[in-house]
Amino acid sequence: MTASALWDQGDADHKSVLGNAQRAAASGDVIAVSRITIAEIEYGYELYTSKDPARRSKAEANMRAFTLIKEISKGTTGPYSKIRAALFTKFAPRDSRNRVRSVRPERLIDKTTGAELGIQENDLWIAAIAVEYNMILVSDDRMRHIKDVWPSLRFVEWKKSPTPPTPPPATQPSSP
């Protein structure tokens, strides 16, 4: 995760991520983190015992000091549902005649998993928040399927390349 590398001074990618964050801030970009990202990092802290408690404690303090956090809001539901629908349309399991398997309006429960769609559910929420606020998504996750169905979502991988993102396309797709 890019955010954890930003906050953890002992992370191998910390200097690179910090340098990119500083350049972005110097150019006037606002850097925010989603509540989901915070939750995923805290989950990792709960799950794993640190070999270096002082380092972990400092990283946790840096995370908690970060104040610009984007929450899931009423405005997130539109981008979330559109991106997930686009993922379902493109990647849902199909039968031998290439029809999406068992989708009936009267059974409006989508049993298709994130694994079948090639996504992690939290990545979808994070992407939806980025779309809602028209933000650039900085992530070291591949999110290949999300990029495939929602090309106007701008991605930067700070751990891999310090190059700035390309400008967004002129129009936002209303549906895939």
* Spatial distance between the Cα atoms of 77 and 83, rounded to a whole number of angstroms: 10
pLDDT at 105: 45
* Spatial distance between the Cα atoms of 139 and 13, rounded to a whole number of angstroms: 13
pLDDT band at 37 (very low <50, low <70, confident <90, very high): very high
Select the CATH number that applies to the domain covering 2-156 from these four: 3.30.930.10, 3.80.30.20, 3.40.50.1010, 3.30.1380.20.
3.40.50.1010
- Please report, for residues 34, 35, 107, the alpha-carbon distance to residue 39 in angstroms, rounded to integers and kept in the order given: 9, 6, 31
Cα 114–Cα 111–Cα 44 angle in degrees, nearest 5: 35
pLDDT band at 176 (very low <50, low <70, confident <90, very high): low
* Residue 38 neighbours by CB distance under 10 Å: 15
Task: Render pLDDT for 78-116 as a digit per residue (tens, 0 to 9).
Answer: 999 999 889 888 887 778 888 776 555 444 455 556 677
pLDDT at 168: 55
Answer yes or no: is pLDDT of 163 > 60: no
pLDDT at 74: 96
3-state secondary structure of 46: helix
* Spatial distance between the Cα atoms of 65 and 70, rounded to a whole number of angstroms: 15
pTM exceeds cut of 0.85 = no
Task: Render pLDDT for 111-158 as a digit per residue (tens, 0 to 9).
Answer: 556 677 777 889 999 999 999 999 999 887 778 889 899 999 998 877
pLDDT at 106: 43
| Residue extents of the structural domains in the chain | 2-156
